[in-house]
């Protein structure tokens, strides 16, 4: 089967094997997330509750709600994605799976990338899909809502990638949740600024291409660097 895939796609057998290893990690983590629906629902409910509290507290001032909507949604998305970061590597560290990953013939960085992808699918993607319903509470136009969703789809993977570095650095440590927040939150501020700024620029009638270009640059940079940094941190933690 491996040889057939390698021949049909033009990939070498080793490359196909590596991709299959990453896919196995992704599928495994997604299955674990499905078994622990409470964790996924907790982050989603937290996101909905935090965003919904602001319109209730501020009142029906449409102009003010439209102004604060991008920042509120992005801050809530950042905090919600942090809820599940602590367990990204902690469970594998406790049951010995992480040691097996380090001993695997597959590159550890690609296996880590599979775990990051699973985390984003179970957190960032769901938050982006729910955000249009929450945007109705802030009286955002359909066009502004589309910009908000696009910024979340482009920016939330960066949150998962940066968070993976913090999760790897704090794996096995007591009080890892607090330390993880202190490490990750400052690094996510640029994504927060440009993600929320894209919607605000759209509402002001300005060009938003620059904001999305910067978000794309952050994504490309972290997509290359974060798995390598997280893999190095995991090797230090195991040793």
Segments making up each domain of the chain, as ranges: 2-238
Q: How far apart (Å, rounded) are the C-alpha atoms in residues 202 and 140?
A: 11
Report the percent of the chain where pLDDT is more than 90: 47
Report, in angstroms and rounded to the nearest whole number, the Rg of the chain calculated over CA atoms: 19
More reliable by pLDDT, 215 or 10: 215
Q: Identify the pLDDT of residue 14.
A: 60
Flag whether pLDDT at 161 surpasses 60.
yes
Across residues 61-90, what is the average pLDDT? Answer: 89
Q: How far apart (Å, rounded) are the C-alpha atoms in residues 88 and 113?
A: 11
Q: What is the DSSP letter of 171?
A: T
Q: How far apart (Å, rounded) are the C-alpha atoms in residues 53 and 104?
A: 47
* pLDDT tens string 108-132: 888 899 999 999 998 889 999 999 9
Residue 238's alpha-carbon distances to 6, 25, 37, 220, in angstroms, are: 34, 19, 29, 28
Q: How far apart (Å, rounded) are the C-alpha atoms in residues 176 and 57?
A: 33
Helix 124-135 and helix 37-58, axial crossing angle in degrees, nearest 10 = 30
CA 41 to chain centre: 16
The whole model's pTM is what?
Answer: 0.86
Q: Identify the pLDDT of residue 42.
A: 87
Flag whether pLDDT at 10 surpasses 50.
no
């Amino acid at each position: 089967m491996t040889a057939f895939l390698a021949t049909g796609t033009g990939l070498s057998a080793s490359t196909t094997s590596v991709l299959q290893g990453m896919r196995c990690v992704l599928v495994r983590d997604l299955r674990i997330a499905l078994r622990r629906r409470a964790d996924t629902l907790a982050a989603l409910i937290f996101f909905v509750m935090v965003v919904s509290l602001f319109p209730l507290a501020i009142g029906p001032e449409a102009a003010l709600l439209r102004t604060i909507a991008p920042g509120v949604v992005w801050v809530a998305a950042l905090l919600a994605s942090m809820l599940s970061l602590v367990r990204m590597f902690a469970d594998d560290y406790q049951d010995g799976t992480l040691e097996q990953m380090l001993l695997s013939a597959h590159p550890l960085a690609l296996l880590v990338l599979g775990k990051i992808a699973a985390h984003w699918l179970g957190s960032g993607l769901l938050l982006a899909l729910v955000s249009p319903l929450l945007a109705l509470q802030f009286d955002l136009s359909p066009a502004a809502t589309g910009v908000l969703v696009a910024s979340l789809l482009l920016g939330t993977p960066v949150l998962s990638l940066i968070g993976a570095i913090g999760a790897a650095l704090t794996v096995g440590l007591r009080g890892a949740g607090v330390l993880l927040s202190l490490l990750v939150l400052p690094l996510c501020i640029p994504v927060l600024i440009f993600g929320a700024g894209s919607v605000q620029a759209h509402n002001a009638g300005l060009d938003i291409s620059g904001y999305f270009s910067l978000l794309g640059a952050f994504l490309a940079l972290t997509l290359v660097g974060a798995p390598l940094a997280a893999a190095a941190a995991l090797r230090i933690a195991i040793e």
